[in-house]
Each structure stands twice: as C-alpha cells, then as structure tokens.
Amino acid sequence: MKTLEGIIRISRGGTGFIDREGAEESIRIPTERLGLALNKDKVVVSLETKPRVLKVLERNKIKFTGTLEKSGKKWFAAPDDKRIHLDFFIKEIPAGAGENMKVLIKFLGWDNPEKNPEAEILEIIGRKGEHQTEMKAILLNRGIEEDFPPDVLKEAEKIKREISKEEIKKRLDFRKITTFTIDPFDAKDFDDAISFEEYPDGNFKLGVHIADVSHYVGEKTKLDGEARKRGFSVYLVDRTIPMLPEVLSNDVCSLNPKEDKLTFSAVFEFDKNGRKKNHWIGKTIINSDKRFTYEAAQEILDKKEGLFYKELKIMNTLAQKMHRGRVERGSILFDRDEIKIELDKDGKPLKIYKKKRLETHKLIEEFMLLANREVTEHIEKHCKKAGLDKLFVYRIHDLPNEEKLAELAVFLKAFGYNLNLEGGVDPKEINRLIKEVEGKPEEELVKTSLVRSMAKAEYSTKNIGHFGLAFNLYTHFTSPIRRYADLLVHRLLYGHLKGEAISKSEIQKYQKMSLEASRNEITAAEAERESKKYKTVEFMQSKVGQTLSGIISGVTDWGLYVQDKETGAEGLVKLSSLRDDYYKTSGKYRVEGTKKKKKFQLGDEVKIKLIKASLNDKELDFVFAN
C-alpha cells in the first residue's frame, strides 16, 4: 500500500487536504476518513482510491481554547479554532465553570474516531463575548502568555539602570549631538533614534541609534530564554504583549527623551548632495532631545517651521532620494494605508479608519532600511577581509512562486491589466502595475493579490537576498526590544567586530533560532489579525440591515467574498442567496448564471446589505441589495 507523510490541513467543513510533491492539486480526505487527525497534525495517509489517515505521527498542539457546552449530563468544549472539526469531551468541570464560559483545555487522548477526543480544563478564561475574555482567548489559543514568569521578572528588576563611567569610555559619545525619536502616538517603547550633525562645508552625519538590548540581556539568562520563546512583541487591537518585561522594554532599554541610553549605532557621512561617503558601526551612548510622533514631525515639515525643522527637512530630502534610488533598483512599492480600530475604555469599537502613510513614516523607514542593509554588507566585507568564518542572521525573501504569478496574471487580465512575465519576474514590472492601479476602485484588491502571490519573508543563516526590497544582503538590526532576531543580530555583529571565532555548533544553533523566530512571527501576526477581525465584526453588528458599498474580493464555489469600502470588512454573499438564477463558478475569478448569463467577478463594485455579523464565527454575511 502506497502512503504519504505530511501535514494535514482541515477545512471548517471538516474536509482534510494534504499536499503531494509535484502534484498541482492537494489530496482530499473526507471527514469520515480523517481518523484521529486534527488540523495541522503530522500524519501518514494511504494513497488508495479513497485516501484515509492511517496514523498521527505528531500533534500540532495539545492546548486549545473553547466554549463550554452541556449535552445531557456530559460536558464538551467547542474549539475557537473552527478548523478543529469536532468538540472535546470534558471529564471534570471545576468550580466556577459553566455553559458559555471560555476555557483553556489540554488534549488528553483519543483512541476511537467514533468518539470525541478527551481534554481537561487548565484555566477558566471568562464569559464568552466579553472583551477581556475574547482577547485573552486569542492569545492563549496560540500559546502566547501575557504575564512573565516570576523568576524572569526578578532577574529584570536586578538589572542596573546606572551607566558606569567605565562603560561610557568604551563607547562613542553622541549625547551632545542633536538626536530625536519619531514613533506612533501610542508607542510605549522606543527602539530607534536618529541623530544629525551638519558640517560647515554642507556635508552632514546621520546616525541610526538602536537600543543596545544585548548589553542588558545576556545569553543563557532567564530573560534571554523567555525572549527567545516569545520571539516577538504582540500587538493586539487593544494591548501590547511585550517580548521583554516592561522594566526593560519601556524603561531601561527604551530610548526615552532626556535620558542617557546605551545604543548600537550605524553612522553615515553624506556630502551636501546626499551621496554617502563612509560609515561607522559600533557601540554608542546617546541622549534623545525630543520624542516626536509621526504627526507632530510631519506638521513641522508642512509648516516649514518648528523644533529641528532644518534637520527634518534635510533628512526628508535625503530619505526621498534614497526611496527613488531603491525603487529604480527594483524595490517593490507595497505602500498601504493601515486599518486602525478605535476602542472605548471598555474595549467597544467606536470607529474603523484608514491611517494615511506620511512623509515622516517613509523617512524613518528609509533610514531603518539603510541601517539594516549597511550592517549586513559591513559584516560581509569585514569577515572576508579578516578571514573569519561568517555567521549571521539574514532577513531573506525568496522569488515569487511562478504558478501563483501566472494565476495572478490571468486574474489581472479580468481587470484589463497586463502583467508581463516573459523572461521571469521583474520587480519593476510589478511596480509599473502598482502605479497603474493607484486611485482605482480595485487598487487594494490588486495589491492584496500581489502580496498573496509573494513568498513570505523569513529569517535564516543562509542568505538568498531579499526579492521584495531588491537587496542582495539584508537583516533586521533596528528593533531588538520587540524582535528576538534583531537581538541575535546585535550579538553576532558585536562578536564579529571583536574578531571572535565561530564553531560549527554555533552555526547550527543560530539556524535553529532563525527558524523559531520565523514561526513566532507567523503566530504573532495571526493573533494580531484575529483580534482586529473580532473587533471589526463587533463594530459591524451595528450596521446589520444597512446597505453598503463594496467590491468583490474573492470567488469560491459557495459564494462571493465582498469587502466593505469604508471599513475594509470582508463578508460572504452565498450563491444560494442569488435567487434570480442558478449561479456557478466560471473560472477562478467569476460566477455566472446558467440561464441569464449574468456575471459577477473579482473587482466588481456592488451594493450589499449586511444581514448577519457573527462574533462566534468572526464572520459577516451579506446579500446583494435590490
């Protein structure tokens, strides 16, 4: 009997899918033949006429969140993750638990597919539907802990805040140089600061100063172990779960204004025409003069007056020049407005709006990209010159999947756009397309489709370059307070600068940590998206019965996904709701009535009525108006 080993994906409807190398379509496994498999488990599947799961090799996870339900005298937990296709049987119910309570459960075992898997309750989260309960459940379902272990907090509290004279002597002193931070208005930690120094001949020095977290968080400490486990700070719609305890992330390491701070810096000298002459990388000490928000710094640029206007103007001119050069070299222009959700003090959504990208956002982005790229190039040249074995953590981005791009080209033709893929993928061709759709109704849809056709960026000790940015060498150096990979980069950078030897075991260790960081990044992003989705559906409950303007954003066998233009909220128009004809899919991008031949396709602007906003499923149901 032929078999296949792999990761099974189970849909909300309970159908399993597993990929076979070289095959265009996934193997489909009906619910009754899933055996003891749960979503994302590693399994062995038989390749018979009717494939079935033979064995579960490894569970993807054993902790889940769910809602308690009672059936007769038995208790079950209905999982929050709708891709877990059946409920868990709960043997014992602790005091305080009851129906409609959210709980964290632990999978105990399962030996009969005719019965429900067994689980025990680890924690009562709260009543279903309450803001705090739902946000905490989103975190716990992904293994994200809000609270730090006591021993980690104790170690953080022992860190010395005072900077010794001996330490200052080891560093380049920037405390008398004009320095400031530019961050979101609600930022609580400040990873990066910019310094500016102009010379009489018009040349100037630009410093990118990054919090020296590696000075405070040593290897093999409890703090480091916890930071590695978390991997990232997580930003839900209503809160931040930091990677490091607040005494570090908001105080000791954060580049707060009017305080001496230890930093790791990349300093660049430019001539008066904005041409880079040289650079220096090393440990520094700074004292930030001012904490700007993006909006406040933009207002100074717009008014052409205010604190540090001259410095901001020169920096902005340089950033714009760098941006143009980057785009000319093939860096892809995925500039998109951020969707923000405004909540009241109780977590109720008040408003959903698009936050415009300002010049100051782009200014900081360009300088962070500069530092990230130059640090990587510096390491490359330094190791080669010194004859050192090279070990580094790169931020890599592979070429897009050719099949996905070919599908995308067909999709774009439906809108009247041409994506030329002759001779391979050309980033400049993608940029041309992005420019062409600017301001059009389908702009966001086309950009989203382009993003989905791209490979995911990740961390690795093996460099393949960064396709999206068109950089041969790139890393993440600029956010060690909130990204563990950046902390690794700081350690490796400092070790290389000191000429330390590298063992083979170190290379293997850092590759393993790079893979962990990539996985943690996905987990954090999923939690952030789910919290926004929940609050979006909650906000839309007040619009049930209203007629809205939308754009068709997806086509499936069961319906059309439509995105509300105002909020970006996406919902489903079921094909069964279209009563004027019998509709079925015609290709991947449209549905067509069998009798009247009326068509609905991706990108069509439509009027929709919201008929249901389900917080339980985090889904919206629309029907076409009229």
**Could you give the number of structural domains in the chain?**
4
Q: Which helix (H) or strand (E) holds 352?
A: strand 349-355
Residue 24 has pLDDT above 80, yes or no: no
For 472-505, the pLDDT digits (tens) are 999 999 999 999 999 999 999 999 888 887 787 8
Domain assignment present for 492: no
Which residues in 397-512 belong to E strands, given as ranges?
Answer: 458-460
Mean pLDDT of 322-336: 90
| Location of structure tokens 């010159």 | 385
Q: What does the pLDDT read at residue 446?
A: 84
pLDDT at 158 over 90: yes
Given a contact cutoff of 8 angstroms between Cβ atoms, the answer to whether 52 and 44 are in contact is no
pLDDT band at 383 (very low <50, low <70, confident <90, very high): confident
| Chain position carrying tokens 């499936």 | 556
Task: Judge if 183 and 88 occupy the same domain.
Answer: no
For residue 1, pLDDT beyond 80: no
d(C-alpha 307, C-alpha 182), whole Å: 13
For residue 366 the two structure tokens come to 């360009």
Q: Phi and psi of 542, rounded to 5°?
A: -75, -10
Residues 48 and 76 in one domain: no
Whose CA is closest to 360, among 302, 289, 288, 305? 302
Under 8 Å between Cβ of 390 and 379: yes
Question: Per the domain annotation, does 113 fall within a domain?
Answer: yes
Collapse the DSSP code of 319 into the 3-class scheme (helix H, G, I; strand E, B; otherwise coil) and give the result: helix
Residues 417-439 pLDDT 10s: 888 888 778 888 899 999 998 88
86 in the same domain as 22: no
Cβ neighbors of 7 (< 8 A, separation 6 or more) are: 18, 40, 41, 42, 43, 60
Ranked by mean pLDDT, the top range of 246-260, 325-339, 561-575 is 246-260
Measured in degrees and rounded to the nearest 5, phi and psi for residue 386 equal: -90, -5
Which DSSP string do the residues of 526-561 spell out, in sequence order?
Answer: HHHHHHHHHHHHHHHGGGTT-EEEEEEEEE-SSEEE
Q: Using alpha carbons only, what angle is made at residue 454 by residues 407 and 530, rounded to the nearest 5 degrees?
A: 105
Place of tokens 């330094």: 382
pLDDT band at 336 (very low <50, low <70, confident <90, very high): confident
* Chosen domain end from 58, 76, 94: 58
Token digits of residue 294 = 């993006």
The answer to whether residue 303 sits within a structural domain is yes
Residue 325 CA to residue 347 CA, distance in Å, equals 43
| DSSP structure class, residue 614 | E
Query: Over the stretch 558-606, which tens digit does the pLDDT of each residue have?
Result: 899 999 988 989 999 999 999 889 988 877 778 989 998 888 988 889 9
pLDDT at 78 > cutoff 80: yes
371 and 227 in a single domain? The answer is: yes
Determine which helix (DSSP H) or strand (DSSP E) holds 351, and give its type and residue range.
strand 349-355
Domain boundary at 97, 128, 159, which? 128
What is the overall mean pLDDT for the chain?
93
CA-nearest of 515, 523, 540 to 619 is: 540
Regarding whether 216 and 90 lie in a shared domain, the answer is no
Which domain covers residue 292, as residue numbers?
Answer: 150-387
210: pLDDT confidence band, cut at 50, 70 and 90?
very high
* pTM as predicted: 0.92
Average pLDDT of span 526-554: 95
Cα 289 to the center of its chain, rounded Å: 31
Q: For the ranges 169-173, 216-220, 592-596, which has the lowest average pLDDT?
A: 592-596
Q: How many whole angstroms from its chain centre is CA 436?
A: 27
Cα 262 from Cα 497, distance rounded (Å): 17
What DSSP element (H or E) covers 44? strand 42-46
Check residue 604 and give its pLDDT: 87
Euclidean distance between CA atoms 478 and 31, whole angstroms: 47
167 and 67 housed in the same domain: no
Residue 276 domain flag: yes
Q: What is the mean pLDDT of residues 434-461?
A: 87
Q: Is the pLDDT of residue 389 over 80?
A: no
pLDDT at 26 over 90: no
Helix (H, G, I), strand (E, B) or coil at 18: strand
3-state secondary structure of 315: helix
Q: Write the Ramachandran bin of 281: left for phi over 0, alpha for psi from -120 to 50, otherwise beta.
A: beta
Q: How confident is the model at residue 397 (pLDDT cuts 50, 70, 90)?
A: very high
* 517 inside domain: no
Q: Which two tokens stand for residue 508?
A: 């293997």
> Do 118 and 239 fall into the same domain?
no
- Give dist(CA 393, CA 357) in Å, integer: 29
Q: Domain boundary at 20, 42, 58, which?
A: 58
Residue 394 in any domain: the answer is no
- What is the Cα 356 distance to its own chain's centre? 19
In angstroms, the Cα distances linking 45 to 5, 29, 53, 92, 115 are 6, 9, 4, 34, 21
**Domain co-membership, 115 together with 178:** no
User: What is the model's pLDDT at position 420?
Assistant: 87
What is the bridge-based pairing of β-strands 9-10 and 204-211?
unpaired
The strands making up 178-183's β-sheet, listed across from edge to edge, are 172-173, 276-287, 260-270, 204-211, 192-198, 178-183, 290-293
- What pairing do the DSSP bridges indicate for beta strands 394-396 and 63-71? unpaired
What is the rounded distance in angstroms from the CA atom of residue 20 to the CA atom of residue 40?
Answer: 15
pLDDT tens digits, one per residue of 107-134: 999 999 999 999 999 999 999 999 999 9
Question: ∠ CA 215-220-222 to the nearest 5 degrees?
Answer: 90
Predicted pLDDT of residue 570 = 94
In this structure, the answer to whether residues 289 and 208 fall within a common structural domain is: yes
pLDDT > 90: percent of the chain: 76
Residues 124 and 19 in one domain: no
Give the model's pLDDT for residue 445.
80
Would 445 be classed as within a structural domain? no
How much is the average pLDDT of 366-382? 95
Cβ atoms < 10 Å from Cβ of 550: 26
Distance CA 77, CA 428 (A): 51
Map tokens 């709006």 to a residue.
353
Say how far apart CA 185 and CA 296 lie, in whole Å. 9
Q: Is the dihedral of CA 83, 87, 90, 91 positive or negative?
A: negative
Q: Give yes or no: residues 165 and 280 share one domain.
A: yes
Least Cα distance to 538 among 134, 186, 136, 236 occurs for 134
**CATH code for the domain in which residue 14 is found:** 2.40.50.140
Question: Can you give the pLDDT at residue 329?
Answer: 92
CB neighbour list of residue 103: distance below 8 Å, 6 or more residues apart? 65, 66, 67, 68, 77, 97, 121, 122, 123, 124, 125
- Classify 22 in phi/psi space as left (phi over 0), alpha (psi -120 to 50) or beta: left
Beta-carbon contacts of 59 under 8 Å, excluding residues fewer than 6 positions away, are 38, 41, 107
Q: What number of residues does the chain have?
A: 626
User: Over the stretch 83-102, which tens digit does the pLDDT of each residue have?
Assistant: 999 999 998 999 999 999 99
Q: Do both 52 and 67 map to the same domain?
A: no
| Mean pLDDT of the 341-350 span | 95
Give residue 57's pLDDT: 97
Contact 374, 266 (CB under 8 A): yes
| Predicted pLDDT at 534 | 96
Map residue 9 onto helix, strand or coil: strand
Q: Is 557 contained in some domain?
A: yes
With tokens 């003891």, the residue in question is 36
Backbone angles phi, psi at 51, to 5 degrees: -60, 145
